[in-house]
Amino acid sequence: MPLYEYLCEECGARFERLLPLTAIDDPTSCPQGHAAGLRLISIFSAVSKDSAGEPNLIGDGCGGGCTSCACSLN
């Protein structure tokens, strides 16, 4: 089940909801009970350790697709 991130436009609270794909367009109220929140685009990173035990970012943060560093609006 996907985890969706939201922003309440009324109070500014950021919150998450674990929802089935079939509920992607359903309105979701914030923890304070305000009306539907605005669904955000989630950003995540993954880190592993190299053979020396040093942290190693998986990908470079620009790993293909349309990311903030791979797309241009020009």
For the chain, domain boundaries:
3-42
Q: Note the pTM of the prediction, 2 decimals.
A: 0.55
Neighbour tally for 69: CB within 10 Å: 9
Cα–Cα distance for residue pair 49/56, rounded to 1 Å: 5
Residue type, 32: Q
Output the pLDDT for position 67. Answer: 46
Q: CB pairs under 8 A, 24+ apart, for 66-70? A: none
Half-sphere exposure of 4 (CA within 13 A, CB side): 21
In this predicted model, what pLDDT tens digit does every residue of 46-70 receive, in sequence order? Answer: 788 888 888 877 765 554 444 445 4
Look up residue 1 and give its two tokens: 């089940």
